[in-house]
A and B are shown apart, each in its own frame.
Chain A
Amino acid sequence: MLEILIVGAVSSAIYAMLAVGFTLIFGVARVLNLAHGSFYALGAYGTYFFTAHLKWPLLLAAIAAIAVVAVFGVFVERVLVRPMRASQLAVLMITLAVALVVEQAMFLTFGSEYRNVPAFVDAKFHIGGVDVAGARLLALGVGAAVIAALWLFIQHTRLGSAILAISQDPQAAQYMGIPSDRIFTVVMALSAALAALAGILAGPFLTVQPTMWLLPIVKAFAIVVVGGLGSIPGSILAALLLGYAETIVGYTVSTSWTEIVSVAATLLMLVVRPAGFFGKRAAF
């Protein structure tokens, strides 16, 4: 029971970090970024590269990886996505192509074997008779802290209000003198950095290999649909729901059913209430 509680919380935290960035860039720029999973993969691979090949200390490597991924995210947004924003399908296709290029780049440089990302904490902890790896607890703690910080940033800073304003009404925000293009860049950097951080934290206990971008993007999609596209509280709630639902199904039924949980939840939500828990009723 306690194990389900802890494991569920850890996967919820990772999911939330992924989904919040994904929903943020959709809410602000109306971009459904299929390359979001690649940022997660690049975070893990970057850390692996900096620690294993350049022998950098882990903290420095992690920070460098996050910075590199943020810059890459900005590049993708500025150069590839921005000229296509008029067409929803073109954006989906180009971000998907970026995801495939990243996958192939990882495959060509590092091969298809699993890679090890070192953990910040190696120790195991005893909590109420359950063994929990330190890396998992760290992922939970850092995830919760980062999302709380993001929430405070959006609610209480000038830049945060600008982001909120654009996601509520892009046109009105522009009339108020908010430089929307610059905000998109900031949000893309934030969103990519969050995904990279999720990759770095999940790297030690999940598999790091070229196709690792696919599952997170499916999960992020599911969470964001259930919570409501563009809504941050919605995606946090949905991340908790799906994280726990998957863990419970994994423990009680079988792990082969866990993958179906998030997808079935997506379909059910789209049929029953397409806008999600907290989304606007824009889906009809």
Chain B
Amino acid sequence: MFNKPVDLFGAAAFIAFMAVLPLIFPGNYLIGVLTVSVIYGIWAVSWDFMSGLTGRENFGHSLFIGVGAYTAGFLNTTLGVNGWWSLPAAMVMAVLFALLMGLPTLRLKGPYFALAMLSGAVIMQRLMLIFWEQTGGEEGINGLTPLIRNQLGFYYFALGVLVVTTALLMWLARSNWGLILRAIRGDEATCQAAGINVTYYKIASLMISAAFAGAGGAMYAHYQLQVSPQLFAVVTSITIITMVYVGGMATIYGPVGGAILLVLLTELLRNFGEWRLMIYSCTLIGILFFLPNGLIAPTWRRVRASLGAKE
């Protein structure tokens, strides 16, 4: 969708907005919130690439996030490796886990794949607690070193990673690759009959998705300076799926907007104290009910239509 001047302009406007926001409203609080929202953006985009395009809803995306974060944690604290090695290492580990989970489970359809991935994440979370002597249990691993000491600098780094990830995955989604993934969502049997190695494409797309999720996990670990089993929690996966849903499934750019919107909304709701999660859940029901195609992507489509751009 980047072939039109309107889209390029939209993307540039979005990046400029995100880059300028912490300069207009200075303060570490806003930078922190924005950093978290950008990392969620990376997770949401990577989820959408696999699950949105192929229609295999992954309810255990937190598995890759947690694996990435714990890889960073072990490397950085136990082995004392420089923090910048965390990113590639986390990506490799997440890809290995994607292969491990994907090979047996990706032949499953619909809710079965969702459940298998969810179980995988729950098992990992439990194992982190059971082997607390190695993993630090409930406390997790503390004392990671920051990648960039300057908060604003790290935010720009995260924003850069998000932009590169989104551009890369969008390019992939618009290539023949993406076409095949969409075709698998449409009718897997027909794809197979047409001579496409469906299993290869599904596992490869899960591995790509996991790689970026793992990188995001490592970044999150180096931002929080600690990792905890909570990263593997089902809630993390569900939050990401909600973001993709709000953004618009299978659009790649939509989930970025969904992630940032929802993180900011959660922060705004802090003023409501204990009513916060209630309002959040009710908003979620409202969006699911009245906007089945999400919020961000359809809005952008309307904007570009009014600017005179054709599909």
Contacts and interface: CB of A to CB of B under 8 A. Distances in A.
Q: Do A and B come from one complex?
A: yes
Contacts of B289: 80, 83-84, 94
B284 A274 contact: no
A248 B9 CA distance: 62
Given A101-B278, A218-B122, A267-B123, A225 B285 contact: no
Interface residues of A, number: 40
B46 to A, nearest CB: 17
A237 interface: no
A84 B280 CA distance: 20
Interface in B102-122: 104-105, 107-112, 114-116, 119-120, 122
Interface string B274-290: 11011011101100110
Interface stretch (A65-73, A130-138, A253-261): A253-261
Interface stretch (B15-23, B87-95, B159-167, B238-246): B238-246
Nearest to A264: B123
A96 to B, nearest CB: 6
Given A108-B274, A271-B116, A88 B110 contact: yes
Contacts of A107: 274, 277
A37 B126 CA distance: 21
Contacts of B127: 260
B110 to A, nearest CB: 5
Contact of B285 (A87, A94, A222, A263): A94
A93 B245 contact: yes
A32 interface: yes
A96 B123 contact: no
Interface string B116-144: 10011011001101100000000000000
B48 interface: no
Contacts of B112: 225, 270, 274, 283
Given A80-B285, A90-B288, A98-B285, A274 B123 contact: no
Interface in B35-79: 57, 59
A113 to B, nearest CB: 14
B288 A94 contact: yes
Contacts of B109: 282-284
B292 interface: yes
Given A94-B285, A108-B278, A271 B105 contact: yes
Q: Identify the interface centre among A32, A98, A257, A271: most chain B CB within 10 Å of its CB.
A: A271
Contacts of A104: 277-278, 281
Contact of B122 (A32, A90, A263): A263
A121 to B, nearest CB: 34
A283 B104 CA distance: 13
B285 A256 contact: no
Contacts of A229: 111
A39 interface: no
Nearest to B242: A93
Given A80-B285, A92-B114, 12 more contacts: A84-B289, A89-B241, A90-B288, A93-B288, A97-B284, A98-B285, A101-B281, A101-B285, A225-B115, A263-B119, A270-B112, A271-B105
15 contacts: A83-B289, A84-B288, A88-B57, A89-B249, A92-B57, A97-B281, A97-B288, A101-B285, A105-B278, A108-B275, A225-B115, A263-B119, A266-B115, A270-B112, A271-B104
Interface of B: 57, 59, 104-105, 107-112, 114-116, 119-120, 122-123, 126-127, 129-130, 238, 241-242, 245, 249, 274-275, 277-278, 280-282, 284-285, 288-289, 292
